[in-house]
Amino acid sequence: MTDISIAVVPVAGIGTRLLPATKSQPKEMLPVGRKPVVQYVVDELTRVGLQRLLFITGPSKTSIENHFDIDAELIQVLRESGKEDLLAELSFERAPIQYFYTRQRQLLGLGHAVSCARPFVGDQPFVVALGDSIIGLNAQSDVVRRMSRCFVETGADAVIAVEEVPHAEIRHYGVAMPKTTGDIFELADVIEKPTLEDAPSNLAIAARYVFSPTIFDALEQIQPGSGGELQLTDAIRLLIQNGGKVYGLRLHNHERRYDIGTFDSYFRAFVEFALADEKHGATLRTYLEELLRKAA
């Protein structure tokens, strides 16, 4: 259990890099193996004891709300047609978590999306979990619990998850400049989408954050940055410049971040999760091996 009870899950982005798949459905609802991306995110947050979840959403995202509702009609249909065994697939509808939704009315970037949570969060610490990123195969990760512990023990203003990425990919991420060493370290700076020459390390921010409400003041002060958007990374940078304590916490080796933002990463994630499927993984493996042998 954590002392922090609120998680904010931004899902308002329009996912242009995944068009046409995302034309009329949210990228956060794309299936990876058996479940939509955002269900893995909610599973992860529920498992570490978060109790209230605020989605920052948008007009084309109502299927996310529908997905987490209790669907009495579907339950009845399954019962009446003798498919009661399938009810287990809907057990997530009863997760011990309360859902809230607010719309980001202008798509001004991730920093702006997080600032939309201010009236809900008030003066409490909170988690931010990006709705398009799964941490660990089948979301087997307690990184948010470890981050929350670090946040409480150090009295930090922010704790961010980081993972090592290949140098060629650094320019796609927010990148950390560590001040100290170790699996948990203090940060001297963070830079959004640096060039390879400007990158202070190969530690990329990995879609999970714990913040004190001081982040909201920082978000109000920043100007549009990379891509003309209000960048969350720039607000974290300002926190540090204003003397705030910000820590980085490395993901464990088994906790890779699956960023469902491009087709390359989406395809890889899907194949990896499908191969790990208890029922169909083994036959898929045989099929793929055969396919690759024929193509060689």
Judged by the rule CB under 6 A, the positions of this chain that interact with ligand UTP are 10-17, 28, 56, 104, 107-110, 112-113, 130-132, 261
Q: Which is nearer to ligand UTP, 209 or 247 (CB)?
A: 209
Shortest distance, CB of residue 107 to ligand UTP, whole angstroms?
Answer: 4
Q: Which is nearer to ligand UTP, 133 or 148 (CB)?
A: 133
What residues contact 101, with CB distance under 8 A and at least 6 apart? 54, 55, 57, 65
Instruction: Check whether the bond before 20 is cis (ω within 30° of 0).
Output: yes
What are 234's two structure tokens? 């720039």
Q: What is the residue-wise DSSP string for 219-267?
A: HHHPPP-GGGS--HHHHHHHHHHTT--EEEEEPPTT--EEETTSHHHHH
- Going by their DSSP bridges, the two strands 184-192 and 246-250 should be labelled as antiparallel
Q: Which is nearer to ligand UTP, 101 or 185 (CB)?
A: 101
What are 56's two structure tokens? 């920052």
Q: Which is nearer to ligand UTP, 10 or 225 (CB)?
A: 10
Shortest distance, CB of residue 165 to ligand UTP, whole angstroms?
Answer: 15
Q: Which is nearer to ligand UTP, 112 or 237 (CB)?
A: 112
| Phi, psi for residue 189 in degrees, rounded to 5 | -170, 160
Q: Which is nearer to ligand UTP, 185 or 270 (CB)?
A: 270
- Going by their DSSP bridges, the two strands 133-135 and 52-57 should be labelled as unpaired
What are 213's two structure tokens? 């409400």
Taking the CA of residue 287 as centre, how many other CA atoms within 13 Å lie in the half-sphere pointing to its CB? 8
Residue nearest to ligand UTP (CB): 13
